Amino acid sequence: MIGFTCEHCGAAIWLPAMRTGRGNQCPKCGLLVSEPGQRTWICAQCGTSGRGPGRRRGSDAIEWLLWLLGVGYAIIRLLPSVAAATNEADLWWVVGLAGGLTLLICCLPAILYRAWRASAGAGVCGSCGGALIPASSPRGRQMLDHE
């Protein structure tokens, strides 16, 4: 038995191994579903279809820049405190708790940007940058029928 969820209603579906690899109907909503390994996608803008997600939204360069600026700023903010530490206990306080909180706060823009990039469910089309939708969804089937 192979288990997965319906991409339309979220119902749990269990299929015998001999029924996998072909279109099956969801017992709850009745729409055509496919296993995650077999799922195909179609671009909502240009109609290009493919087997998996395209590139992620956003930019790798912007994400790296945000991380570097956040870590760099945290280090710059902590250096005076590290230099002013008079004993080992003060140093552990600065590097430990205060350092962790400073790093978290300074890197918050990078963390939020990364979360936004990761939240792109199916990704974006590699051809035009449009949103990818499951080909087995009602809109995806409609687009495939009009080709």
The answer to whether the predicted template modeling score (pTM) of the entire model surpasses 0.85 is no
pLDDT computed for residue 123 by the predictor: 64
Q: What is the mean pLDDT of each run of 10 residues along the chain (147 residues)?
A: 69 64 69 62 76 64 94 90 83 83 92 82 66 78 73
pLDDT given for residue 109 in this prediction = 95
pLDDT at 62: 93
Supply φ then ψ for residue 58, to 5 degrees: 85, -165
At 91 the pLDDT is 82
pLDDT tens profile 6-47? 777 777 777 665 555 555 677 787 776 766 555 577 788 887
> Where exactly are the structural domains of the chain?
2-56+124-145, 60-118
